[in-house]
Amino acid sequence: SQTIHQWPATLVQPVGSPLSLECTVEGTSNPNLYWYRQAAGRGLQLLFYSVGIGQISSEVPQNLSASRPQDRQFILSSKKLLLSDSGFYLCASGFGGLMYFGPGTRLLVL
């Protein structure tokens, strides 16, 4: 099975500051990679997905961007955080409907 690494586990950032969340995957090659966000008490919202290096599809227009510089590395970024960017950010890897999720990063924007 795959192992998904995410860091940091928690992050507190001021409004207007930049963001970079990293996700790395072990145990597979050329996976489909995903970024989801979960606001407090809400469901999971798909933000981005990638089927290969340099290939990014955005699902929701917003203040965030994603990049995939290596096969098993997926990065979520923002130039200026908004209060509404607070949430639980989850990276996932998989094929078809079978996905493995990372432990997540809990982001609080103040």
Partner 1 sequence: DAKTTQPTSMDCAEGRAANLPCNHSTISGNEYVYWYRQIHSQGPQYIIHGLKNNETNEMASLIITEDRKSSTLILPHATLRDTAVYYCIVAGFQGAQKLVFGQGTRLTINP
**Separation between Cα atoms, residue 3 and residue 56, nearest integer Å:** 21
Distances (CA, A) of 105 to 12, 17, 97: 10, 17, 22
What's the closest the beta carbon of residue 104 comes to partner 1, in angstroms? 5
Please tell me whether residue 51 binds partner 1 under the rule CB under 8 A: yes
What's the closest the beta carbon of residue 52 comes to partner 1, in angstroms? 10
Please tell me whether residue 100 binds partner 1 under the rule CB under 8 A: yes
Helix (H) or strand (E) holding 25: strand 19-26
Restricted to residues 25-44, the positions that interact with partner 1 (CB under 8 A) are 32, 36, 43-44
What sign results for the dihedral spanned by CA atoms 46, 81, 14, 11?
positive
**Separation between Cα atoms, residue 32 and residue 17, nearest integer Å:** 29
The stretch near partner 1 (CB under 8 A) out of 17-25, 51-59, 67-75, 76-84 is 51-59
What's the closest the beta carbon of residue 96 comes to partner 1, in angstroms? 4
Instruction: List residues near partner 1 by CB under 8 A.
Output: 4, 32, 36, 43-44, 46, 49, 51, 57, 59, 88, 90, 92, 94-104, 106
